[in-house]
Amino acid sequence: MSCPVRSGLLARHVFSRGLAKLPHLGVGSAESGHNHQAVIDIDALHPGAVLYHGNYFQDAHSAESPPTLLTRNGTYTGIYSSRYDQDFFLGVPFAQPPVGDLRWRLPQSLNQSFSGTRKAMAYSSNCIGLGGDSWGYPLSEDCLYLNVIRPHRPAGYEPGDQLLPVAVWIHGGGFYMGGSADKRFNMSMIVENGQKAGTPFIAISINYRLNGWGFLNSDEIRGEGATNLGLRDQRLALHWVQENARLFGGDPRRVTIWGQSCGGNSVGFHMLAYGGRDDGLFSAGVLQSGSPAPWRALNGTDFYQTLYKNVTVHVHPSPSFAADNSMSPDETCSAAIDTLACLRTAPVEELNRVFNGSRDISQKWFPVVDGDFIREYPSRQLDRGEFVKIPIISGTATNEGHWFVPPLEDKPEDFYTYITHPQVFTGRPYQLGLPHKLAEKIMDLYPPGSCPDTPSGSCIGFDDPRVAGQNPTFQRASTFAGDVVFIAPRRQTCEALARFGSAAYCYRFETIPNGQQWPTHFHEVSFVFNNTEGLGYHLPIHPLPFADKPPSYFELASFVSRSWVSFFVSHDPNAWRRQGQWDGVEPEWPVYKLDQPENLVFEASHVHIEPDTWRSEQIKLINDNSHIFQR
């Protein structure tokens, strides 16, 4: 759900549950002919097949002539939903399973074709992860699959009849949890919005390797060119889309990559990948609470070497590897000549125990500057215009920082300690303690008891009445955390695109869902997906976002979702309104300009435009020191 590790009471609950209850092994579903590897089942069994999303898929069924998805490797049969008049193709492989000798190697394209048809009627397991977003979903090392939700194509349809735009969803979750099967990311409602508007598109969601499975970092990994594997998995999925889109009715020239939190970071990484090389994989991007300059420090592989060695100390090789290398039963992979080869043979259960069972190892893996996929700090590439020039939507919630600050006493020195204390290998936004001179400037610019107002009149920060009960030091820290983690990089991204001639549509989300005190991280997601039913939201952690809310909330969800659809289809979020499909009074979303920077503010009672100049001195200080934040 979120990108950084949450702090405070909720964080402690999530962290303790994630570590205390280690997953057990179950049996994977073979409905789609995949996931024969061991499946890790956390807290709940897979509900199975098309009922995976509960009553949402209750009408989905295999017709006498089920829909088909043509790909270069073969044909898949899916499910037709009469409720939404859509075709579902679930659990379609886009890479060879990254298991056995392919563990911690570059993702490999499919290399075999098949005759006849194969079923694509059940979500695959999510990739093995750790944390709340992985609860209730089966997890497996064999996880490189995607899902295609397409407006129904009747019998006799030829793919070339009408090529539809494609939107590819990249889930968030800190690069350590989550997956495409998450019920909150169900695509049918937003695809339906396109159908109703006469602007149909195809939605695709993808999995990618997570945590130590996708971001194991070390000199050994770098020596094999296997850094940033989770991002490279995403990249291969985008190549799969280019190779196959025309076959199933998608337009490879109109592909929008779209993500939230670390999914938004991923979109930014792809814009800057290989020095900003344009491989023709996408034509637009949506970055929700994520940017090319990520929330957490980007280090080199050497930074993780000690952590990698700790993994080898705790993992035993397979019996065959031990025998072939004359290792005693008591020796771990740390004693092997080739430690990475040893780890590749270890049982998935043991690796999962090590990755998830120790504070010294779990939740610490993150993308790295490798001189290849990520050439250098993204902020430097943004400054030089070394990124793929595409139109984007980019925005944040008003109070992004409240979830990411630990409990603090109401003492100024607590805030100072918070921003200067080294916090290596944590999920906090600053991985290395800030220099004291910079910290002193931050203390001055984020004083206690003050709140820089926005032009719209709402107080974004530590005096917000919606956070009554939080002490001023906590409120002060949360404002800074929101700026440094999300808001400053978002503004930096919008400015960079404007500077180099690409359209950026920037926003601030200012609507409080049910059960929440403020508009914070992830809260726009249910609006974007038009998920007014609250699929996937469960108490006590995730209240139904639209429960007991007025009609204005449902109207805002329709407005936001249809604006996203308009962007997917035309790369202009205003196009649908110009066609007379909305009778509201919302202003047109402006393109971001350096001499007139503006955001569209999504507030249920009043969608409006604001100058993007609030906290300008504070955010400029952060962005001018991006190198200190190592991004």
Three-state secondary structure readout of 113-135:
CCCCEEECECCCCEECCCCHHHC
More confident residue, 460 or 264: 264
Stretch 202-213: mean pLDDT, rounded? 98
What is the percent of the chain where pLDDT is above 90?
A: 67
For the record, the structure tokens of 139 come out as 């997890």
Least confident range of 25-34, 327-336, 467-476:
25-34
pLDDT tens for 98-153 read: 999 999 999 999 999 999 999 999 999 999 988 777 778 999 999 999 999 999 98
pLDDT at 425: 33
Contact residues for 384 (Cβ-Cβ < 8 A; gap 6+) = none
Least confident range of 219-228, 414-423, 448-457:
448-457
pLDDT at 505: 99
CA 481 – CA 327 distance, rounded (Å): 48
CA 377 – CA 626 distance, rounded (Å): 8
Which residue is listed with tokens 């590819």?
168
Stretch 428-448: mean pLDDT, rounded? 78
pLDDT at 413: 84
pLDDT at 518: 76
pLDDT tens for 357-394 read: 766 666 679 999 999 999 999 999 999 999 999 999 99
Asked whether the beta carbons of 10 and 180 are under 8 A apart, the reply is no
Phi, psi at 80, each rounded to 5°: -100, 130
Stretch 8-32: mean pLDDT, rounded? 30
Stretch 297-320: mean pLDDT, rounded? 93
pLDDT at 195: 97
pLDDT of 292 higher than 80: yes
pLDDT at 455: 42
Asked whether the beta carbons of 453 and 443 are under 8 A apart, the reply is no
Which DSSP category does 403 fall into?
A: G
Listed ranges 123-137, 147-161, 543-557; the one with the highest mean pLDDT:
543-557
Q: Which residues pair with 260 in a beta bridge?
A: 288
Q: Which residues pair with 76 in a beta bridge?
A: 69, 118
Stretch 316-341: mean pLDDT, rounded? 97
Which of 404, 393, 401 is closest to 493 using CA atoms? 393
Query: In the structure, what pLDDT confidence band is assigned to residue 297 with cuts at 50, 70 and 90?
Result: confident
Phi, psi at 238, each rounded to 5°: -70, -35
* Farthest-apart Cα atoms in the chain, separation: 75
What is the percent of the chain where pLDDT is above 70?
A: 83
pLDDT at 475: 81
Q: Which fold has domain 8-260?
A: Rossmann fold (3.40.50)
pLDDT at 520: 83
For the record, the structure tokens of 478 come out as 């949360």
CA 45 – CA 29 distance, rounded (Å): 11
The reply to whether CATH 3.30.70.120 applies to domain 378-624 is no
pLDDT of 629 higher than 80: yes
pLDDT of 44 higher than 70: no
More confident residue, 451 or 576: 576
pLDDT tens for 443-475 read: 999 988 655 444 444 454 444 544 545 678 888
More confident residue, 613 or 457: 613
pLDDT of 403 higher than 80: no
| Domain ranges (residues) in the chain | 8-260, 301-356, 378-624
Same fold, 8-260 and 378-624: yes
Stretch 262-290: mean pLDDT, rounded? 98
Least confident range of 204-213, 302-311, 330-339, 442-451:
442-451
